[in-house]
Amino acid sequence: MGRVAAVSGATTGAGAADAGQSFDAAHSALVADRSLQFAVETPKPPPPPPDWLKGLFDLLGGLGPVFIVIFWTGLALIVLAILWLIAREVIRIRLPQRHTPTPPGEENWRPAPAQAIALLSDADALAEQDRFAEAVHLILLRSIGDIDGRLPNTVRPALTSRDIAALHRLPDTARPAFNRIARVVEASLFGGRTVSRGDFLECRQAYEAFAFPDAWRAA
């Protein structure tokens, strides 16, 4: 019985030794395999920034509070500017103009001579073709343009020629000339009256009187 136990123990010890040798051999083979990596490589630290860049970062870091103040100040100015624009528009819409602008002086309103000559030349060209109605209509439109250019915001689209002639801002000395032109045009457009050469000459002379400073001297 004791012999069997001794043999069994020897067999067990030999098996353990063989197993240990097999593990060591497997471990050695695993370590020797170049395709496997067991060591962890520590990355190299990045190089330190240059001194000038470090100094710049330090400077910007010190100016951080100043930048915050500048940011909020700029934001406040933008908000105030927006509020001012809104308030100005509200005031402009809610409060009409308190002061009626006075008619400009004769040196400011007088049309350029070349402009007046060009108009009369165009009207004469229409009259030479016996298109007298178109010629006087052209003179009327230019007269209205003169009024609107010298007295802004006076002539509105809904106003008729008669309404424009009745405007209190229209100088009394210019009113008769404009009335003559408007009367001929309205009789042609709404009354079906034929415009003659005499009507055209009357309107032409009226425009000349209307365009020169003497017609506005009493404004």
Domain boundaries along the sequence of the chain: 60-94, 107-216
CA 77 to chain centre: 20
Say what percent of the chain tops pLDDT 70: 64
For all residues of the chain together, what is the average pLDDT? 73
Provide the angle, in degrees to the nearest 10, between the axes of the packed helices 51-62 and 64-94.
50
Between 4-8, 23-27, 118-122, 173-177, the lowest mean confidence (pLDDT) is in: 4-8
pTM (two decimals): 0.44
Mean pLDDT in residue range 34-59: 75
Between 35-44, 100-109, 117-126, 185-194, the lowest mean confidence (pLDDT) is in: 100-109
Reported as a pLDDT band with limits 50, 70 and 90, residue 129 is: very high
Which of 116, 181, 184, 183 shows the shortest CA–CA distance to 146?
Answer: 116
12 pLDDT above the threshold of 80: no
CB atoms within 10 A of CB 208: 14
For the record, the structure tokens of 101 come out as: 């602008």
